Structures are given as structure tokens and as C-alpha cells.
Amino acid sequence: MRIGSEEHLTLLCREFIDSHLEFDPNGLPWPALGEDDVAKLRALPFWDEAVRTERRTGAKITAYAPEESPALLREAVALQGFEETRHAGLLDALISHYGIVVDPGPEQPLPTNLQAAFIRTGYGECIDSFFAFGLFAMAEDLEFLPRPLLALLEPIVHEEVRHILFLVNWVAYKRRQEPLPLRPLHVARCVGAFAGAAYDRARSAGNVAGGVSGTSKDGFTASGASAIAGDFSLTGFVGRCLAENERRFAAYDPRLLRPRLVPTAARSFLVLANLQAKARSALRPGAPSPPRSDHPTHDSSSNAA
Ligand SMILES: [Fe+2]
Ligand SMILES: [Fe+2]
């Protein structure tokens, strides 16, 4: 299949639409939790940010959908807007059921360039979701919360995988629709959007870490991971994120492109961390040798995003 072809367009839309799950966030069987579990849930540092992000993402994508064509692409983008709005609804239901106090801040006006916002939001999800995959797996491993509750949250993670898969293929499809001389400009716009999304995450990380007493300024992911796992190994966590990333994307048609940038950065981080640990142990004879990464460091993603 040629990237940018009609076949690619149909596959990226059909894979997305056909894997949509039907459920109503207001009818979910929230399990009864003990006092300790409710306290752990309330103490998680990312509720404000999560609710704000899901609400805003749903509004932006829903507003952008009517600008898309052809109809199949419009249907897929509108469905993504629906799913994001439903994520906000699911979080609202959870928050009200367990009495979590959330302050997502005032509603922001929609951006004027909705397509640019769609790309920047999508790249933001590529960053957020990569780490969310690892956090969610860690929460399951450690039984941080009862499994019936984690099972009710799984659809959010499942849908974010599909959103990212859609985004990277949509970007590639749109780029091939541009005349050849204009494609570098498209690449530049995407690089700018990714940098903007990374900047947004860095700023949010400061807000999350700075707004939680007793939490070091490690950022959103680190504060979320340490809230779940206590003292945790950063390299172990990144390795888990990579493994989960591969596992979750393996479920989809191999002809579709996979996100590459964040996983590649994560593999590079693991290689550097391992080299640094080896250098340290070489300078201190008798010190224990560095732990082997629990994830292969080769780049197994076959395509660009
Ligand atoms: Fe979402
Ligand atoms: Fe999403």
C-alpha cells in the first residue's frame, strides 16, 4: 500500500471507525472502594490537568471535524471528537462518584486555526499517551487500585492508541496531498506543532509538580509514576512504556504507520542511561554492574510519523 493513496486513506479511516467501542460513561458500574483506595485516588496529582485536557481536546476536534473532506475522513475526525468528549464525561463521572475535588480552570476560547490545533493536540497525545501506557501498566502490576476500577479506565487508554495511530497516518496522508515543493513546508509546520506540544507538556509538568505539596518538581509523568510506585526506576519505567507501546500498537493493521519520534527518543534515553551506568561502574571497581534494560534498544518501528 502506498502512503498517501486512496487505499491508505480508506484504511486509516476504517481502522479507526471499525475499532470504536460503544459505551455510556454515565452507566458504568463504579466499584465500591475502601477508604485507603479512595484516598489514593484523590491524591493522584494529575486530575486537574487530565480533565482540562480531555474537555479542551474534545471541543477542538469536534469543532475541526466539519472542515475535513472527504466524508469518510470527516466521519473519522468527528468520531475522535466524540471519543475525546466522552473521555471528559468518563472522568467527570469518576470524579463525582468518588468525591475528587478538581479545578480544571476556566474554559478557553477555541483556536482560530483548528487544523493547526488538531495537529498540535495530536502530537501532544503522542507524548502523553506513551507515558500513560507505562503508568497504566504499572498501576495494574502493583494493583495500585482495584482491577474492576482500572478496567473501567482502560477504554481511555485503548482510544488514545487509536487517536495517535490515526494522527500519524493522517499527517502522512495530508503531506502526500501537497505538491512536492510544498512538502518541506508541511514538515516544518509539523515540527513546529510537535515543539509546541512538547512546550505545553513542559509547562503543564511545572504546574502539576509545583501545585502539589510534597511533590518534587519532576514533572507530570514522574509525579504520576512516583504517586503510583513510590521510589521507582526511571529506566525501568521508560522500558515499560516502550514495551506497552509496542504491545498496544501490535493490534492494528501493520500497513499503517506507527508513531516513531517519542519511542525513538525513549530508546536513545535508555542507551545513554546504560552507557552512563557502565561508565560509573568502570570508575568504581567492585561496584555492581548496571542492570540490563528490560527492553530491546533496537528501533523496531518501521515507519515514520
Ligand atoms: Fe482523550
Ligand atoms: Fe485522544
Cell of 106: 476556566
How much distance in Å is there from the Cα of 38 to the middle of ligand 1?
23
For 38-48, what is each residue's pLDDT tens digit?
A: 998 898 888 88
| pLDDT at 128 exceeding the cut of 60 | yes
Predicted confidence (pLDDT) at residue 156 exceeds the cutoff of 80: yes
Looking up cell 510537535, which residue turns up?
194
- The domain spans of the chain are 6-283
Instruction: Tell me the CA–centroid distance for residue 17 and ligand 2, in Å.
Output: 14
The CA distance from 244 to 260, in Å, is 14
Centre of ligand 2 to C-alpha 163, Å, is 5
Q: Please tell me the pTM assigned to this model.
A: 0.83
| Whole-number average pLDDT of the chain | 85
Per-residue pLDDT of 260-301, as tens digits, reads: 999 999 999 999 988 888 888 777 766 555 555 455 443 333
Residue 98 CA to ligand 2 centre (angstroms):
24
The class of domain 6-283 in CATH terms is mainly alpha
